[in-house]
Amino acid sequence: MESNKDLFEKNLKELEGVVKALESGDVTLEQMLELFERGIKLTKQCTNALDTAEQKINILMRNKETGEITEQPFGGMNEQ
């Protein structure tokens, strides 16, 4: 079974391939529509994965005493 990270990376790589194929102009209109539809599905899957990861990060960053979420630098709480 693939991890969420592996699935995200697989979807992102496939999405990059879809974009390259669309940009090449070497596809028929029917192929272009199929690629576009696949790209939309992959984009939604990647966005959902990122939203889920953000929710997990917010839970981890929640202040234990107040329950409030505090903004932290990207590198972690120890960066100045």
Residue 41 lies in a domain: yes
Q: Please, what sign has the CA dihedral across residues 4, 54, 66, 64?
A: positive
pLDDT tens per residue, range 27-52: 999 999 999 999 999 999 999 999 88
Mean pLDDT of all residues in 18-33? 95
Overall domain count for the chain: 1
pLDDT at 63: 67
59 CB-near residues (< 8 Å, 6+ apart):
none
User: Which structural domain, as residue segments, surrounds residue 30?
Assistant: 4-61
Does 26 score more than 70 pLDDT?
A: yes
Residue 48 lies in a domain: yes
pLDDT, the chain, mean: 83
Residue 21 lies in a domain: yes
pLDDT tens per residue, range 52-78: 888 777 777 766 677 776 766 555 444
Cα separation, 2 vs 13, whole angstroms: 15
The CATH number linked to 49 is: 1.10.287
Q: What is the pTM of this model?
A: 0.69
